[in-house]
Amino acid sequence: MAIFDFELLARDDSTSARRGRFHTAHGPLETPVFMPVGTRATVKGVTTPQLSEIGAQVVLANTYHLYLRPGADVVKDAGGLHAFMNWSRPILTDSGGFQIFSLADTLKLSDDGVEFRSILDGSKHFWTPEDNMRIQQDLGADIAMQLDQCPPYPADKSLVADAVERSAAWATRCKAAHSREDQALFGIVQGGVFEDLRLESVQRLAELDLPGYGIGGYSVGEPHDLMLESLAPVTEAMPADKPRYLMGVGNPTTMLQAIALGVDMFDCVLPTRTARLGTAFSSAGRMNMKNAQYARDFGPLDPACTCSTCAQYSRAYLRHLVSTKEMLGSILLSLHNLHFLLDLTAQAREAVERGAYGAFMASWLDSPAADDY
């Protein structure tokens, strides 16, 4: 298969779930796939060999943060992100648009681009879509995301409509400026929770015939049910022969429901962030490892899990690490939580291949764990 081809290997008859394979310069992505977030070219506390060991196929890094420090020029001189962070598998770079627009009180927006201030020293910076493409090409990831405008929730429909228009125009400019042949450029669907705006965004982006498409503007405070309700017609309208990437979603239950709607790719800081707060995912639900009930519990963290944390360390030991704020506690829980989501998506792939995804998802949603996520 050629680079950036997306193979549809299987479909589930009872849902819109699909099993695919997206080809990149650093190997294929087997979908559905969860992507650990390595914002500053590192998944916090986890080495790249450890990521390989737990089955990570791809890592996400953030253009905004890497542009500020160490600088795209440093990464380029190092040989690109793969060499810089010692990761030989695929990498995706977010455009940084979400980070810029989350700092709404410091930015100035125009059709030409966006002016923002550094979170490090307050210095002013201005990005056009063309600037953003140059930076992402210097970083050298396998997948680059377009610069887009991400509106907050809630927001007036007129503001969301403006974001859809501007994002579509910027996608066109990003495509014109993007020239790196070993890097796929993905567009980003916007539109908030307004179905007509979402469908307009899909149509505008599909006309560009990009290698793949992100779905942005979710996980910004909207109710979970409203997100899924508005997501369904979006995925149905998106090109069937391109990967669909739901950005910023890593809740296990939400991921499984989104896979049933035809989503292929996910990323989120949730597994590592909750780990640093002392919380573990498990087949029985979330576990707060600060709880005294684990002080003399010498069993594995999750008996159903095959990760190295569960194989080698007890709940009592993990509680001790978390309670004493030892960094090893965050590391071991991060490895476990990442493995949990990577394994869940692996099970989802296998269920689609068997034509049993509907039953697989129903079993999960009926389990005690589902109520805890």
The radius of gyration computed from the CA coordinates of the chain, to the nearest angstrom, equals: 20
Quickly tell me which residue has 């919380």 as its tokens. Answer: 279
Using CB atoms within 10 Å of the CB of residue 242, give its burial: 0 to 12 exposed, 13 to 18 middle, 19+ buried.
buried
Give the tokens for residue 277. Answer: 């707060």
| CB 46, CB 338: distance < 8 Å | yes
Specify which residues 6 forms β-bridges with. 22
Q: At what angle do helices 252-260 and 357-365 cross, to 10 degrees?
A: 150
Between CA 159 and CA 155 the distance in angstroms is 7
Quickly tell me which residue has 């519990």 as its tokens. Answer: 297
Quickly tell me which residue has 């896979």 as its tokens. Answer: 259
Using CB atoms within 10 Å of the CB of residue 39, give its burial: 0 to 12 exposed, 13 to 18 middle, 19+ buried.
middle
- 182-208 burial, b at 16+ Cβ within 10 Å, e below that, comes to ebbbbbbbbbbbbbebbbbbbebbbeb
Q: In what order do the strands lie in the sheet with 27-31?
A: 6-11, 18-24, 27-31
List the catalytic residues.
Answer: 94, 267
Quickly tell me which residue has 């440093």 as its tokens. Answer: 74
Question: What phi-psi label fits residue 355: left (phi over 0), alpha (psi between -120 and 50 degrees) or beta?
Answer: left
Q: What residues contact residue 337 under an 8 Å CB cut-off, 6+ apart?
A: 270, 271, 272, 274, 275, 280, 281
